């Protein structure tokens, strides 16, 4: 199973905060806390976030097979169920507000050269303001994983599996997880869920047994 344990996720996000460049920290916080696909993240616009209701609407995905930033396309998500509105943690919303402030400063400094497509996760180099590409996110994640000596073969999609595993550990139902991820049916999600819940059930049995042993020994 390609996902991070909660302690590993915390270590990775701390690395993104301490050693990340440009959007790294905000990117990985959002992926980790929402379970959205990288293409969905790259397509996000500020208008998709309702800060008052604490929700984000996922209605599109970024398509850019040539990795040429200006030649991006916005397409419908993978499936009908992929179009969804999910709740955002207050912590994530506060971090995104900080990103908005940074982006506004860049806009002010480059009024004539900033492509204002309302995108949240934008490029800050040659093509200012254009939506970031998945390849860059993959490269930055690999670098940060190596920095903290975690499995560098993990990808942004692994954070989606991580989100699944931690929701399962928190006791969220499979139906609730599938709804949040925008899945009608997904074998990998079910495997991650069953793996985690099986471990939890085993721990519950062992804890009960230990409790009874302590009674018998009295």
**Minimal CA–CA distance to 121: which of 107, 109, 135, 103?**
103
The catalytically annotated residue of 127, 140, 180, 183 is: 183
Cβ 42 vs Cβ 121: under 8 Å: yes
pLDDT tens-digit profile, the chain (218 residues): 688 999 999 999 999 999 999 899 999 999 999 999 999 999 999 999 999 999 999 999 999 999 999 999 999 987 888 999 999 999 999 999 999 999 999 999 998 889 999 999 999 888 999 999 999 999 999 999 999 999 999 999 999 999 999 998 888 888 898 899 888 777 878 888 788 877 777 776 776 677 767 777 66
Superfamily, domain 6-216: Intergrase catalytic core (1.10.443.10)
Report d(CA 215, CA 218) in Å as an integer: 5
The catalytically annotated residue of 84, 127, 140, 160 is: 160
Q: Is 25 part of the annotated catalytic residue set?
A: no
Q: Is 160 part of the annotated catalytic residue set?
A: yes
The catalytically annotated residue of 17, 81, 124, 157 is: 157
Cβ 71 vs Cβ 127: under 8 Å: no
Token look-up 């303001």 returns 129
Q: In terms of C-beta distances under 8 Å and separation of at least 24 residues, what long-range contacts does 152-156 make, across chains too?
A: 153/2, 154/2, 154/3, 154/4, 155/2, 156/31, 156/38, 156/41
The catalytically annotated residue of 3, 25, 37, 127 is: 37
Q: Is 183 part of the annotated catalytic residue set?
A: yes
Other C-beta atoms closer than 10 Å to the C-beta of 74 total 17
User: So what's the pLDDT on residue 207?
Assistant: 67
Report d(CA 30, CA 88) in Å as an integer: 9
The catalytically annotated residue of 25, 33, 72, 193 is: 193
The whole-model pTM stands at 0.88
């Amino acid at each position: 199973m390609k996902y991070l344990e909660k302690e590993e996720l915390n270590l990775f996000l701390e690395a993104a905060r301490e050693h990340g460049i440009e959007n790294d920290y905000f990117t990985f916080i959002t992926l980790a806390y929402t379970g959205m696909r990288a293409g969905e993240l790259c397509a996000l616009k500020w208008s998709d976030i309702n800060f008052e209701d604490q929700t984000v609407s996922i209605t599109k995905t970024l398509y850019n097979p040539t990795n040429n930033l200006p030649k991006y396309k916005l397409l419908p998500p993978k499936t009908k169920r992929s179009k969804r509105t999910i709740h955002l943690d207050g912590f994530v919303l506060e971090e995104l507000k900080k990103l908005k402030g940074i982006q506004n400063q860049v806009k002010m400094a480059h009024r004539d050269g900033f492509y204002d497509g309302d995108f949240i996760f934008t490029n800050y180099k040659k093509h200012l303001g254009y939506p970031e590409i998945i390849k860059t996110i993959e490269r930055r994640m690999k670098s940060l994983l190596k920095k903290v000596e975690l499995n560098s073969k993990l990808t942004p999609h692994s954070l989606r599996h991580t989100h699944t595993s931690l929701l399962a550990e928190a006791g969220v139902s499979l139906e609730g997880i599938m709804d949040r991820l925008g899945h009608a049916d997904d074998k990998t999600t079910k495997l991650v869920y069953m793996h985690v819940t099986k471990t939890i059930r085993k721990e519950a049995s062992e804890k009960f047994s230990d409790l009874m042993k302590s009674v018998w020994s009295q």
